[in-house]
Structure 1
Amino acid sequence: MAKARTRGARALIWLGVLIVGLVGANFAAVSFDQDGSASWTPQLALDLEGGTQIVLEPRLAEGASISQEQLEQAVAIIRQRVDASGISETEITTQGGRNIVVALPGEPDAQTMQRIQASAKMEFRPVLASAPANPPGSTPAPVETDPAAEPTAEPENAWDQAWITPALQSEFSAFMCSDVDPTEIADPEQPLITCSSDGTARFILGPVAVDGSSIADASVSAATNSQGQATGGWGVNLELSGEGPANFEAVTRAITGLPEPTNQFAVVLDAAVLMPITSNAIITDGNAQITGGFSQEGAQSLADQLRFGALPVSFQVQSNETISPTLGANQLQAGLIAGLIGLLLVVAYSVLQYRALGVVVIFSLAVAAVLSYLVVTFLSSTEGYRLSLAGIAGLVISIGITADSFIVYFERIRDELREGKHLTTALETGWKRAFRTILVSDAVSFLAAVILFLLSVGNVRGFAYTLGITTFIDIIVVALFTHPLLRVLARTKFFSNGHPLSGLDPKALGAVYTGRARFREPVLAGKGATSAKQAQLRQTIAERKAAAATTGKES
């Protein structure tokens, strides 16, 4: 018995350590926050706080149109881009069968805005020539050309130097980086004069050699050399699919070993060169690593752009405006009131049904609420999670899940007491049997939450997210608080002697064993009971089975 009480106290200590750890994690998230997004309260989603609405319009050639399939694919890719920035509860919809509306909660940071607005079709083009950018304000004179000197040979491939005609060279010499038009749709079968995204270099690029839609995945890892040894930097790993591997092999086979800059090909997004890549080896399997003195953040940013940059068509920002909450404070208040009513009903039922055990329910629900709040706040500060009305609904439903665990546990203990066992024995036996049932029940709820999260989008994912979190917390509360607390309370006279208000009175429960080796007679209808209904209520499970068997034989 003393050992059980010690185990109970130890579990309560571990629960205290967990709560202190979560408080410390939230304190660290707020103290070391650099963008001002972390706080001691959860961030609210678009339906409760409002945010920013961006309308994207497709950039199409004259007379062209966008299909519904292309529009849906673009929505999926933009959603991936936004999710990569850590912002949840984002609403991305179509408008008029043409535009895409992106509604972000709160005020998104510059990096998120850049990911959304950089929505052009990504391309890989060979570098035919490069030069430093012309200084701002300068007026370089174009090179005079003789039309008769124009070459008559047609370029054979995307990296053929025959693309650089005297006229193109003259245009390149006079080109200013301020002339780059991100709304211009470049012909994929013609060369392109453009600048780097930072405006420090000019390029003549050949036609598109590898389309961005061929990128299956892009990830970040430590940079390695040709022998597979780490070089101390960071690299971006590319995985190509479809026609990508064959096209990539053709480019790298042709330009590897050429003098700079013709041994490079450029990643082009929104008519600007993200970076020129030097080909150091022939890539035959569609898997390559891009290196170049990246920091981890820089490599991750490029990987995100490569992975989510291959839109089927290009888009431009048509409008960018702040929007008000779609539901507002009234709906939030109504949701909280509904949760409070549900909580009060659970508490009232627990007190009426379990007497003093209802106090254990109240304290357990309070601990569950504290843990849920700390976890949601921490995820909000570190992972960008935002609490929506659907998420609040998940928290409210968790009250029922937690109460269900208490009922299973308490009823199991009371069944053991009806069998004549002492409270401490009934507590341990009932816990072993009840915990298996609680684990199965919570596992089903958690699995449902996971499936719902993976297969849904928008606010529904917020509901699944909080439901999954609180289901897991339910197990922690029951194992580290409810059961250990009952272990401690079982040592008090109030509970161990079965006080009528304890909720564990053997007489009120109709226990077979009444103490001091005295056993009552099994209660059957018509034998000492005023009615069959009262007899049934006082019977143990074993007595009910025996009565049912007797009735069956008599019939």
Structure 2
Amino acid sequence: MAAPKKGRRAPANQGHPGRTLILVLIAMAALVGGMFSTGTLTPRLGIDLAGGTSFTLAAQNQPGKPNAINETNMNTAVSIMERRVNGLGVTEAEVQKQGSDHIIVNIPKGTDAKQARQQVGTTAQLAFRPVLTTTAGTKTPEPKPSPSQSGKNGKGSGEQATGKDSGKSASPSPSASSTAQGRAVTDALKKPSAPPSASGSTKPSAQPTPPAPGGADIPPALQKQLGALDCSTKQSRATAGEQAANAKPSDPVVACKDDGSQKYVLGPVGVEGTDVKDAKAVFDSQQGQGWIVQMDFTSGGGKKFADITGKLATKTPPQNQFAIVLDGAVVSDPRVSERLNGGNATISGGFTQQSAQDLGNMLSYGALPLSFKIDDETTVTAALGGEQLHAGLVAGAIGLALVVVYLVAYYRGLALVALASLLVSAILTYAIMTLLGPAIGFALNLPAVCGAIVAIGITADSFIVYFERIRDEIREGRTLRPAVERGWPRARRTILVSDFVSFLAAAVLFIVTVGKVQGFAFTLGLTTLLDVVVVFLFTKPLMTLLARRKFFSEGHSWSGLDPKRLGAKPPLRRRRTAPTQTKEA
């Protein structure tokens, strides 16, 4: 029998440590390069560190609902406001109930406070009302009815509501409702049976003749209010919005466009905001409509929406429009060209990404079970948080220094491996938290800083577990290179179990808590995952390479792996050679 060939064979699981280290360095360089390319060199700070804006909202009873302020409705309002904050791309904001009828919303610095106030601080009573007539937003001292001059009344809105199953049009047909801002693209507008000049409908709800510029069948009192209303000032818009929001759903109202450009006479509420199940902004690349807003209604809301759009589709501008009213102000007034069935609809026409997202957020999170008013709005300073952060960083630095002293005194040369691993973990953590600010709106607050400091101990613990496994193998009489490879599987299991428990605790804490505690849980979970990455892809390959160096392999007294210092027993080494001699014999 031929003798087996003698040759060198790398220890099991050794792999290519140099390639792994290069991969980690490339990842670090990419993350740091991303920081410089985006111009974001520091993490985004939370409200306790950077300051911000605080709103105090007071709940109010609605007409006909004297007992609406209760714990269930308040909790529902808090939940909806949290979703609206997330819809703005804001994180680390605090939405919490205070007492029985107040809600406090704290938004970190760097967020558009005006936009937050409009979407988060509004009372958010959402409704869909049919448009009876509309005109310019300025005050009209004396109406001039003239069949040949209609102003705004003769034009449709630049926005249009269509069903998701509406057909596509290669070239939009001209119609009276087309504008430079948005054009009709549904099959209903191309039907010859629906000319723009008249509806020809015999339904009782349809108007027998085209509406006059002042609006058909509008009570004189409402016409007088419309003429006297001036939407060009913020105060007048707020007054008109409050009156419209407090009106009964069955009463027609006078309202302003949210930007003051138009004023309306609106019919009774056709669809409540609570009937909207979901709404989102989507970019339409197939039909070329640009940014659109897709709405999904509840089963009952879908039937109501189909009924009101069926009636509006038979009318002429502006009475073929419905107004989306938020807190008594019209945020959108799309026109309708067909009955929209199926419980869904699409609003298109001249949207930018921001305006489409704003409207989607209002539709999704607009219907609160209570009315609120802003009792107080204050600017939060970061002085106290800055002092606490300084004290926390000093404490963290002292703790880190003590850890370094202990590592050097006990592990000597191995302390260099631990410190290098800690440095890599710190760079990765800082770069990722910095990039998460503009990416998902992550903000670093005081609890998050505490989570990062706690993670130092978790990461150092992983190194210690691995080092002790290697030293145990040396105590049993093995040399360094096989000790590094044989100690790794046992250390790996311990590290994974420990990190899994830490990550599970962080995940549960993140799910069941809100506000600042979530910052602590998120940072703890992130650093725990990075600990696994650093130990597997940096610490282990680095130890494999150092085991080939004479300083460590021969057990220098300052390497931390001296067999004599560790109490290795030579008889164990003699027993290792016996099987080899037996095989040779």
TM-score by length of 1: 0.80
| CA distance in structure 2 between the aligned counterparts of 1:159 and 1:460, rounded to whole angstroms | 59
Structure 2: unaligned runs, 5 residues or longer: 1-8, 146-203, 209-214, 579-585
In 2 relative to 1, CA 322–173 (structure 1 residues): closer, same or farther, beyond 3 Å?
A: closer
> What residue in structure 2 maps to residue 183 of structure 1?
242
Q: Which AA in structure 1 matches 2:76?
A: Q
| CA distance in structure 2 between the aligned counterparts of 1:128 and 1:159, rounded to whole angstroms | 11
Q: Are 1:223 and 2:223 an aligned pair?
A: no
> What residue in structure 2 maps to residue 441 of structure 1?
498
Q: Are 1:410 and 2:459 an aligned pair?
A: no
- Paired residue secondary structure (1:329): helix
| CA distance in structure 1 between the aligned counterparts of 2:420 and 2:383, rounded to whole angstroms | 35
1:429 maps to which of 459, 482, 486: 486
1:193 maps to which of 249, 254, 258: 254
Structure 1: unaligned runs, 5 residues or longer: 31-38, 144-155, 522-555
In 2 relative to 1, CA 230–425 (structure 1 residues): closer, same or farther, beyond 3 Å?
A: farther
Residues 228-249 of structure 1 deviation map (CA, whole Å, 9 limit, x = unaligned):
x533512212122263222222
Q: Are 1:118 and 2:122 an aligned pair?
A: yes
- Paired residue secondary structure (1:310): coil
**TM-aligned CA deviation for residue 108 of structure 1:** 3.3
**TM-aligned CA deviation for residue 395 of structure 1:** 0.6
**TM-aligned CA deviation for residue 510 of structure 1:** 4.7
1:13 maps to which of 14, 22, 26: 22
Q: Which AA in structure 1 matches 2:101?
A: R
2:92 maps to which of 76, 80, 89: 89
Q: Are 1:393 and 2:397 an aligned pair?
A: no
1:80 maps to which of 72, 78, 83: 83
| CA distance in structure 1 between the aligned counterparts of 2:206 and 2:70, rounded to whole angstroms | 29
| CA distance in structure 1 between the aligned counterparts of 2:98 and 2:308, rounded to whole angstroms | 39
Q: Which AA in structure 1 matches 2:254?
A: I
**TM-aligned CA deviation for residue 60 of structure 1:** 4.3
Q: Are 1:309 and 2:318 an aligned pair?
A: no
**TM-aligned CA deviation for residue 287 of structure 1:** 2.4
**TM-aligned CA deviation for residue 125 of structure 1:** 1.1
**TM-aligned CA deviation for residue 62 of structure 1:** 7.2
- Paired residue secondary structure (2:251): coil
**TM-aligned CA deviation for residue 16 of structure 1:** 1.6
- Paired residue secondary structure (1:208): coil
Q: Are 1:71 and 2:74 an aligned pair?
A: yes
**TM-aligned CA deviation for residue 303 of structure 1:** 1.0
Residues 454-506 of structure 1 deviation map (CA, whole Å, 9 limit, x = unaligned):
22111100101111111111122112221121122111111111223322234
Number of residues of Structure 1 aligned to a counterpart in Structure 2: 496
RMSD: 3.2
Partners of 2:62 and 2:371 within 8 A in 1: no
Q: Between the two proteins, what is the percent identity of the paired residues?
A: 44
| CA distance in structure 1 between the aligned counterparts of 2:252 and 2:536, rounded to whole angstroms | 67
**TM-aligned CA deviation for residue 166 of structure 1:** 4.1
Q: 454-463 or 341-350, which moves further after superposition? A: 341-350
In 2 relative to 1, CA 87–167 (structure 1 residues): closer, same or farther, beyond 3 Å?
A: closer
| CA distance in structure 2 between the aligned counterparts of 1:459 and 1:268, rounded to whole angstroms | 34
- Paired residue secondary structure (2:281): strand
Q: Which AA in structure 2 matches 1:20?
A: A
Partners of 1:119 and 1:315 within 8 A in 2: yes
- Paired residue secondary structure (2:359): helix
Q: 493-502 or 391-400, which moves further after superposition? A: 493-502
| CA distance in structure 1 between the aligned counterparts of 2:206 and 2:255, rounded to whole angstroms | 16
TM-score by length of 2: 0.76
Partners of 1:158 and 1:209 within 8 A in 2: no
| CA distance in structure 1 between the aligned counterparts of 2:492 and 2:367, rounded to whole angstroms | 50
> What residue in structure 2 maps to residue 461 of structure 1?
518
| CA distance in structure 2 between the aligned counterparts of 1:245 and 1:330, rounded to whole angstroms | 54
Residues 294-342 of structure 1 deviation map (CA, whole Å, 9 limit, x = unaligned):
2222211211121121112232323222233484333223322332233
**TM-aligned CA deviation for residue 76 of structure 1:** 1.9
Q: Are 1:500 and 2:557 an aligned pair?
A: yes
> What residue in structure 2 maps to residue 43 of structure 1?
44
Q: Which AA in structure 2 matches 1:22?
A: L
Q: Which AA in structure 1 matches 2:30?
A: G
| CA distance in structure 2 between the aligned counterparts of 1:353 and 1:157, rounded to whole angstroms | 89
- Paired residue secondary structure (1:190): coil
> What residue in structure 1 maps to residue 581 of structure 2?
none
Partners of 1:125 and 1:208 within 8 A in 2: yes
| CA distance in structure 1 between the aligned counterparts of 2:283 and 2:106, rounded to whole angstroms | 35
- Paired residue secondary structure (2:54): strand
- Paired residue secondary structure (1:262): coil
- Paired residue secondary structure (1:415): helix
Partners of 2:138 and 2:231 within 8 A in 1: no
